[in-house]
Copies of this chain bind each other. A is one copy, B any other.
Amino acid sequence: MTDTDTDPPETSFLEVSDVVERAVAAAPRWRMLDPVTRAGILRAVADRLDGADDELVALAITESHLTETRLRGELFRTTFQLRFLAGVIEEGDYLQACVDTPDELWPPGARPDLRRFLRPLGPVVVFAASNFPFAFSVAGGDSASALAAGCPVVLKAHPGHRQLSARSGEIVCGALHDAGAPDGTFTVVEGDEAGRALITHPGISAVAFTGSAKVGRMLFDIAVGRPKPIPFYGELGSVNPVFVTMRAAAARLDEILSGYVASFTLGAGQFCTQPGVLLLPEGLLDRDRMRSLVGAQPATHLLNDRIDGTYQEGLEALRHRPTVELIAEGSRQPDGARTPTLLRTSVGGLVSDSEHLLAECFGPVSLIAEYDEEAQLIEVAEMLEGQLTATIHGELDDAVVPGLLDTLAEKAGRIIWNGWPTALAVTWAIQHGGPYPATTSPLHTSVGAAAIGRFLRPVAYQGVPDHLLPAALRDANRLHLPRRVDGQYRTGSPPA
């Protein structure tokens, strides 16, 4: 974490009020732009960020200790996401437009003309994360999906990359302004107190947050404790368990363990999808081999001193739990860089000490739990708390797999087969969410096409004359939206 004289100052309460008032004033103008216009503006933002890639990546390297390769990839992902969501709103199904024409015979009484679609909720506060200075920060997924939905965004910058946040904010604001978005559509604010003040402000309609369970729950409690509670979409973290069946281990142990080490050490283990626990059949673990695999990983700095300190504490606590054995001991080098740590326990140890061993430890450490019988995989799956992901390495006809899949689908937002959770594609079908404590809102995702839905609410119009309806619901359907008409889905293709 840098904290220099040139860092942006914390936002005062007075400024918070002003920022929200500007967002409230921008809301009707931003939401009234049709989706195609808003999509064009999102693409303009993406172009401007891409155009500043060298400058932004250089700032990010200074503030995050992440590698240039990683950061360039992450910025690419971030601008791709803006363009992908632009395409999603252009397609228009996100509005869930629905038309019921009048029906005299509708039971239990004549049905009037009813038309329903989704409207933007209003100004959204986004709390940026530390671990993805682009993809989950200023111009990241939460901002992109709220803007795509038609909501102004007040972005609470993460203190881990303040210069980058300020500069990214300038670029986003400049691009929005030049492309015709109303003033107040996007603002970056600084400071935890400003963040809390934002959540309680009556002008704010929803909150999106990515960060720790402790902070996330504290902010969630503020949001739902307001006189007028508002939706709080918090992604709080996960241990992302990996289950290796006996036959998968027999068939390709080396491949699985190499993949595991690569995944849990990726980005110094600072991924919300990092595999924190791997369940492996007993007796297969070659300690020397694992030490050498883990030892071959480069030393890396964690994102900042605070995270490094929290990791150190968590690591110390974890490795001294009664059943935990140290397999590969990471070190902290004189310059502060760290090498990864691998721990081991038995499935019995995991189950009896689950509160500590199935808790997220943010950083380059993971735990292998050895099991005797595959039935224990189900036992562990059943005791899991909500997870962002759960992974199975198995063979096609493993007897344990169907039951395991079904149990894991109750616990996790994404189930991965013979892969690793740290890869997270931005697509239509992706899900990045899960039951509490993975997130505070199990119905939603913070990545992918469906992320937009968090910031929309339905409104129905009954008997409203065509010319007074929003364009999305008029007979002419000039936006070419797919719509459900009298229960039948119709594509939005222009009439032939």
Contact = CB atoms under 8 A, between A and B. Distances in A.
B229 A436 contact: yes
A462 to B, nearest CB: 4
A231 B443 contact: yes
B91 A425 contact: no
B93 A107 contact: no
Given A112-B425, A114-B425, A429-B114, A458 B436 contact: no
Contact of A109 (B220, B425, B445): B425
A365 interface: no
A413 B487 contact: no
* Residue among A111, A406, A427 with most chain B CB within 10 A: A427
B414 A460 contact: yes
Interface string A363-394: 00000000000000000000001100000000
A484 interface: yes
Contacts of A433: 457-458
Interface string A424-456: 010111110101110011111100001001101
Contacts of A311: none
Interface string A132-161: 000000000000000000000000000000
A359 B114 CA distance: 27
**How many subunits of this chain does the assembly comprise?**
2
Interface string A182-222: 00000000000000000000000000000000000000110
A5 B90 CA distance: 63
* Residue among A418, A429, A453, A468 with most chain B CB within 10 A: A429
Interface stretch (A33-41, A98-106, A261-269): A98-106
Contacts of A122: 410
B116 A429 contact: yes
A361 interface: no
A294 to B, nearest CB: 25
Contact of A413 (B111, B402, B417, B458): B458
A174 interface: no
Task: For chain A, give the interface size range.
Answer: 35 or more
B462 A111 contact: no
A396 interface: yes
A425 B106 contact: yes
Contacts of A108: 73, 76-77, 80
A384 to B, nearest CB: 12
B428 A457 contact: no
A20 to B, nearest CB: 16
Nearest to A74: B108
Contacts of A441: 231
A228 interface: yes
Contacts of A401: 468
Nearest to A411: B459
Given A115-B429, A406-B28, A415-B462, A93 B229 contact: no
Given A73-B108, A100-B429, A442 B114 contact: no
Contacts of A13: none
A489 B487 contact: no
A401 B413 CA distance: 44
A298 interface: no
Contacts of A76: 107-108
Contact of A409 (B119, B419, B428): B119
Nearest to A81: B108
B114 A460 contact: no
A489 B417 CA distance: 26
19 contacts: A73-B108, A73-B109, A100-B430, A106-B425, A114-B429, A115-B429, A116-B429, A221-B224, A221-B225, A228-B435, A396-B468, A401-B468, A415-B462, A417-B461, A431-B458, A431-B459, A433-B457, A443-B456, A444-B458
Interface of A: 28, 73, 76-77, 80, 87, 91, 93, 96, 98-100, 106-109, 111-112, 114-116, 119, 121-122, 220-221, 224-225, 228-231, 385-386, 396, 401-402, 405-406, 409-410, 412-419, 423, 425, 427-431, 433, 435-437, 440-445, 450, 453-454, 456-465, 467-468, 470, 482, 484, 486-487, 489, 491
